[in-house]
Amino acid sequence: MTSDSEEYNVDVVEDVKTVSRLLNKFNFTCEADEVKELIEKIKEEIELEEFEQNLGTPPQKQKIEIGDFTQLNGYEFEEYLKNLFELLGYTAVQTPSSGDQGADLILSKDDEKIVVQAKKYDGKVSNKAVQEIAAAKNYYNTDRAMVVTNSSFTKSAIELAFSNDVELWDGRKLKNVIEDLEKGKR
């Protein structure tokens, strides 16, 4: 049985031979060690590039723990919600951090678009968030608008959301959605 490193060395030796033949064909001369170093460097760069491209990509069927979002900062909370909505079957795109018109995520599923504002707060979320997401709904021309928070909403935010058809997810609703997802109900 061969180890991974032995297989890798065999591949490099074959690559060195192939590259050396190609170089010779075009009248380039290189020592085998130089070719080997170059091949290893290229392979490392390719691996690094693939790693960087996959950064932030959630593993499929990832399990979300209920407590996961409690220790996150605002940006991490947005990323968490993006992953959550993807697990719920939505295509989720994060908006740029500046000039987003109050939107943090744009969701789409079955020809429906939803604009989402994520609010990671210690206190209650005020009606300012509802005003911003209502404006973002028009700006992004979406079918629905929602504000999702780890905490709760002020009474005036709830009233304004009702009159502007904005869906509100407080920490309790968010936990319920996660629990349902973990139980396979969604």
Residues 85 and 13 in one domain: no
pLDDT tens for 54-66 read 655 554 444 555 5
> For residues 72 and 78, what is the distance between their CA atoms, to the nearest angstrom?
9
> For residues 81 and 76, what is the distance between their CA atoms, to the nearest angstrom?
9
| Burial class of 120 by CB neighbour count within 10 A (0 to 12, 13 to 18, 19+) | buried
Is residue 61 in some structural domain? no
Per-residue pLDDT at 45: 78
Residues 25 and 89 in one domain: no
Per-residue pLDDT at 43: 75
Residues 121 and 83 in one domain: yes
Is residue 117 in some structural domain? yes
Domain range enclosing 11: 4-54
Where is the domain boundary, 54, 74, 96?
54
Of all residues in the chain, what percent carry a pLDDT higher than 70? 78
Q: How many CB atoms lie within 10 A of CB 158?
A: 17
Judge whether 179 and 171 are in contact, CB under 8 Å.
no
Per-residue pLDDT at 144: 97
Residues 49 and 84 in one domain: no
Per-residue pLDDT at 119: 95
Judge whether 151 and 123 are in contact, CB under 8 Å.
yes
Q: Which residues pair with 166 in a beta bridge?
A: 145
The CB-side HSE value for 91 (13 A sphere, CA atoms) comes to: 6
Of all residues in the chain, what percent carry a pLDDT higher than 90? 46
Least confident range from 10-14, 102-106, 146-150: namely: 10-14
CATH number at residue 112: 3.40.1350.10
Residues 113 and 158 in one domain: yes
Q: How many CB atoms lie within 10 A of CB 179?
A: 13
More confident residue, 61 or 69: 69
